[in-house]
Amino acid sequence: MRADTPAADLPLAGIRVLDLSRVLAGPWCTQTLADLGAEVWKIEAPVKGDDTRSWTPPDVDGESTYFMCTNRSKLSMAVDLRHPEGQKLVRRLAMQADILVENYRLGALRKFGLDYETLSAENPRLIYCSISGYGRSGPRAAEPGYDFVIQAESGLMSITGEPDGSPMKLGVAVTDLVTGMNAVQAVLAALIARAQSGRGQLIDLALLDGAISILANVGSGYLAAGSRPQRYGNGHPTVVPYQTFAAADGVFALAVGNDAQFRALCTVLGLPELSSDERYGTSRARAFNRDTLLPVLERSFATQTSAHWIERISAAGIPVGRVRSVPEALDAPEVAAREMVAETPDAVHGTLRLMQSPLHLRGTPPRRPVSPPRLGEHTDELLQRVLGATAEEIRALRDSGAVA
């Protein structure tokens, strides 16, 4: 069971994050930092806010569930960065921050005095994490980068989909999510380095870099062995059988990871002769002879229901599972047992069902989710508590249009 960790005992208690990022990669990073106890100040444009606030459907009474997925446990401040006074406010916040995360176009923040060189000169302890499509150096540094295009350009799309079908993207923005995770790792490393040196640093992360890195074994197969990857649909280039199979009543996923598991599978199927066949006895042999092996397995699986096979294959110690819908997955008992979904109090809706952090630290668990903020919900609080603004000063800032 997850226990509520006192705020002061959370791993990043006392760390302040100035979040100038929007959409997914940057907010995914800062949400994880918030889960771990950091105080995250999400700076949003007045009226419009983060782009994802308008990304519907789906929505809950007009509020975007896309925004909800990546902004739990943050404080929202509505500031107009085009306004000179708004720029001054955010620079003052940067002087109080430990970490700044941004994903603006190259050079955009320099004109506001919010670039790394300007801010680090005044706050040398600042860790400044810059996220972009192609990095802050290189021939494409000035170009915008979107997950869909990055999946295409990185090669990820070319290895996803049916062998005779079109290249296919993953169902979520995987390069944004991976870059957000990379950003968390880099920020935590920079915090450790700062504890030793006393200085922050610039972190330069690119969606394309993150996408290239997760080519993993497929990438190394080309680099080291010259192997040109192809699409295998739900199959695997090296491990066989490792794919979905159709039973009499539906589809299930089977992952036979080694020769011992293959022998056990053959016993379950009543086909022990397959494991002694030199064409299939080893993982390497099965990879080269998949075209003759898979039809035999497919005919056998088609004779019984998926429940029949899952029960027997699982009992034999072989990884197997039903192909679930998203609702089935989120409502699964093992997901509930890990408390990955939380009923979160919300001022407007009463409660919201939100996903929780997957980081199960037994000594200092992440905080339970706090409902994503409404646009500008914490503007006055942060002006008063962090910058010491008086009620009169806040009124003047609002009247001028610098904040909302």
58 upstream amide cis, omega within 30 of 0: yes
316 Cβ contact list (under 8 Å, min separation 6): 261, 264, 265, 267, 268
CB 99 within 8 A of CB 38: yes
| Closest among 133, 108, 126 to 24, alpha carbons compared | 133
CA–CA separation, 135 vs 384, rounded Å? 36
- Would you call 331 a catalytic residue per the annotation? no
- The active-site residue out of 176, 259, 277, 331 is 176
CB 296 within 8 A of CB 274: yes
Instruction: Please list the residues that pair with 194 across neighbouring strands.
Output: none
* 3-class SS of residue 192: helix
Query: Residues 326-351, buried b or exposed e (16+ Cβ, 10 A)?
Result: eeeeeeeeeeeeeebbbebebeeeee
- 337 sits in the region (left: phi over 0; alpha: psi -120 to 50; else beta) called alpha
* 3-class SS of residue 345: strand
CA–CA separation, 263 vs 269, rounded Å? 10
Looking only at the bridges linking them, the beta strands covering 251-255 and 242-246 are antiparallel
Catalytic residues: 176
